[in-house]
Amino acid sequence: MALLQISEPGMATIPHQRRLAAGIDLGTTNSLIATVRSGEVVTLADEQGRHLLPSVVYFKADAEPLVGDAAKAHQLTDPLNTIASVKRLMGRGQQDTMQTLAGHLPFKLAVTDSAVPRIQTSAGTVMAHEVAAEILLELKERAEVALGGELSGVVITVPAYFDDAQRQATRDAATLAGLNVYRLLNEPTAAAVAYGLDQQAEGVIAVYDLGGGTFDISILRLEKGVFEVLATGGDSALGGDDFDHAIAEYLLQAAELSTSDNPRLLREALVVARASKEQLSTANEITVQLGEWSGLLTRTQLDGLIAPLVQKTLQACRRVVRDANLAKGDIQQVVLVGGSTRVPLVRSQVADFFQTEPLCSLDPDRVVALGAALQADVLAGNKPDAEMLLLDVIPLSLGLETMGGLVEKIIDRNTTIPVSRAQEFTTFKDGQTSMSIHVLQGERDTVEHCRSLARFVLRGIPPMVAGAARIRVTFQVDADGLLSVSAQELTSGAKSSIEVKPSYGLSDREIMTILQDSVTSVQEDIAARRVREQQVEAERVLEAIDSALKNDGDQLLDHEEKMTILAAREQLAAVRQSTDPQAIEMAIKHLEQAAAFYVERRMNHSIRKAMAGHTVDEFRG
């Protein structure tokens, strides 16, 4: 029996000095660093006493980049060199960034043939993870000044829905900043840790995280210090910004203003909308001014405007509860994270949905960093008696491309990590010596709807008849949710292994919509699958008939017979790429009928050949 060798943890470690550790919330708008000091978890401030560091970096030729408020000061005067919201670009590919984000980003992208997009600044071109590294470096320095020493390690939080490429980019940024990353931690899990929910005996909780642009929902089970993530989901294109848009549209309508010839007006309306939303978190009605117009806005009106959006988040909640194999009533507590959970309607709707008053005593902007700091402290070994353990899941399924552009899932979403899974594949053609392996992430059945993570070729497969080779592909996902893939041909031992370096295929708006799409387009997938299956079948039949004809067509068929078969072959060849599965199926049937006598003749022929020189009795054995 195969045994796994492992040395016992803790045996080698001598009682050590307290290590300096920190938790970092690398956010789209703001970032934070927190640590455990004298037994208390706190966020660290800069010299001016500011805790939130705006996630903005200003690049200038022949000068050190500026980070945070200092960079923000240049946003209006030098917008193209002031890089904000870089988190949206992390792990994105050149192509999808250019296509879907180019118009929306307040900076210029350089045109290069690199797979990773580069931002054009007067200090040269920079990549997203390099910008993020500047933010991390600023936080690192802040912490080292405050703590009086070098950081041993950090925990950096990422959205639960971050895919492999985005996690990898975050790790790359930390490496550039000279940080030792203990762990990448999912933001909702960090929030649950911050509330000290591990202290309670046991239970199931939900973390509802509504930020400016994204929505995350996770279900966790807690028991004696162990946090087990049961399921996670959400919507990467739904957040407080959408509330602002809904309000702004209403205000523009009420004021009878049109933004079509005045793009600046929309920006102004959005600013007013945001301020109104914030005021209505406490007030019941306010007076709003937009240009010349002024009017009353009540909380009831606000609620009406944003209700459909809140409803969408609850739909995602329902789905995740089901993914966790639970009923709503099983959720005992709900934690609120993200600035947008300050909106009263969000709080009351979440309370109604889960039938429990949500926890919101911690500052929703800081809660994630606080949780990360607590875990960093445990991982550093500063709390040797701590029982805290975080068991996380993979947010999106991993799979391989199979024949006809279909994706075969190897690891389903919401599987606990680390996870390793192997799958065997075989060759499709006689004598095939290489096989290309295409790794994808997403919920849909077809390659074009999933995110391409990596491609590699397994060579040196010994030539065999189709279907005889056995290729085992192994996926290994580590505790950070990062994937590596290796492949091996089992009969010969030919091995090919890679660390997945993503090819960045998916657009920003598409990250979480992968999940939504997989629901709404189940029907579409079934149809697509049927088409692909028929296309593959057509290829197979064509290949078989061609190979047979080449082999003994002239020997076993007269001219007339051969022409009949070739005619039927042509009919199939003509529709082999058709999107009508029935057309392909009919053509396959037609060819099979036309070639039936030939198939029979070949069988007889090969039996006669095999029996030549033997007695019949030998075969009766």
Partner 1 sequence: MQSITLPTQWFELFGLPLQFEVDPVVLTQRFRALQTQFHPDRYVNQSDTEKRFAVQATSLINEAYAGLKNPRLRARYLLEQAGIILNDELDTIQDRDFLIQQMQWREAIEEALEDAEPLDALDQVGDEIQAVTLTLYSEFAQVWALKNLERAKQIVLKLRFYERLQEEIRRQQERLDA
| By the rule CB under 8 A, 226 interacts with partner 1 | yes
Which of 339, 360, 314, 343 has the alpha carbon at shortest distance from 247? 343
Scanning 29-37, 122-130, 247-255, 515-523 for contacts with partner 1 by CB under 8 A, the matching segment is 515-523
Taking the complex as a whole, the smallest distance from the CB of residue 380 to partner 1 amounts, in Å, to: 8
Angle (CA) 591 594 596, round 5°: 100
Taking the complex as a whole, the smallest distance from the CB of residue 231 to partner 1 amounts, in Å, to: 13
| By the rule CB under 8 A, 108 interacts with partner 1 | no
| By the rule CB under 8 A, 479 interacts with partner 1 | yes
Distance CA 102, CA 422 (A): 39
Distance CA 598, CA 588 (A): 15
The residue within the footprint of partner 1, chosen from 287, 294, 420, 434 (CB under 8 A), is 420
Determine whether 25 is an active site residue.
yes
The residue within the footprint of partner 1, chosen from 22, 379, 528, 587 (CB under 8 A), is 379
For the beta carbon of residue 198, count every other beta carbon within 10 angstroms.
19
Determine whether 209 is an active site residue.
yes
Bond into 418 cis (ω within 30):
yes
Task: Give the ranges where 355-466 is alpha helix by DSSP (H).
Answer: 367-379
- 316, 217 Cβ separation under 8 angstroms: yes
| By the rule CB under 8 A, 77 interacts with partner 1 | no
Q: How many residues bind partner 1 (CB under 8 A)?
A: 47
| By the rule CB under 8 A, 616 interacts with partner 1 | no
Taking the complex as a whole, the smallest distance from the CB of residue 498 to partner 1 amounts, in Å, to: 16
Site for partner 1 in 140-169 (CB under 8 A): 153
Residue 91, amino acid: G
String of b and e for 426-454 (b: at least 16 CB within 10 Å)? ebbeeebbebebbbbbbbbbbbebbbbbb
Determine whether 224 is an active site residue.
no
Taking the complex as a whole, the smallest distance from the CB of residue 281 to partner 1 amounts, in Å, to: 30
**Smaller CB separation from partner 1, 38 or 520:** 520
> Pick the catalytic residue: 138, 163, 187, 235?
187
The residue within the footprint of partner 1, chosen from 516, 538, 553, 576 (CB under 8 A), is 516
Angstrom CA distances, 327 to 317, 320, 346, 379, 394, stand at 11, 10, 21, 34, 22
| By the rule CB under 8 A, 457 interacts with partner 1 | no
The residue within the footprint of partner 1, chosen from 38, 77, 284, 520 (CB under 8 A), is 520
| By the rule CB under 8 A, 48 interacts with partner 1 | no
- 217, 192 Cβ separation under 8 angstroms: no
Return all residues near 15 (Cβ < 8 A) that are at least 6 apart. none
| By the rule CB under 8 A, 315 interacts with partner 1 | yes
Interface mask toward partner 1 for 10-39; x: CB under 8 A: xxxx-----x--------------------
For residue 46, give the 3-state DSSP assignment: coil
Residue 37, amino acid: R
| By the rule CB under 8 A, 497 interacts with partner 1 | no
| By the rule CB under 8 A, 291 interacts with partner 1 | no
The residue within the footprint of partner 1, chosen from 80, 389, 457, 599 (CB under 8 A), is 389
| By the rule CB under 8 A, 468 interacts with partner 1 | no
Taking the complex as a whole, the smallest distance from the CB of residue 158 to partner 1 amounts, in Å, to: 16
Return all residues near 185 (Cβ < 8 A) that are at least 6 apart. 23, 155, 156, 157, 158, 371, 372, 375, 390, 392
The residue within the footprint of partner 1, chosen from 50, 267, 322, 429 (CB under 8 A), is 322
Angle (CA) 75 211 354, round 5°: 170
| By the rule CB under 8 A, 416 interacts with partner 1 | yes
**Which H or E element spans position 254?**
helix 240-254
Scanning 8-16, 132-140, 447-455, 530-538 for contacts with partner 1 by CB under 8 A, the matching segment is 8-16
Distance CA 419, CA 496 (A): 20
| By the rule CB under 8 A, 538 interacts with partner 1 | no
Which of 406, 443, 444 has the alpha carbon at shortest distance from 530? 406
Determine whether 87 is an active site residue.
yes
| By the rule CB under 8 A, 424 interacts with partner 1 | no
Residues annotated as catalytic (active site), given as ranges:
25, 87, 187, 209
Binding interface with partner 1 (CB under 8 A): 1-13, 19, 153, 182-183, 223-224, 226, 315, 318-319, 322, 378-381, 387, 389-391, 415-421, 476, 478-479, 516, 519-520, 522-523
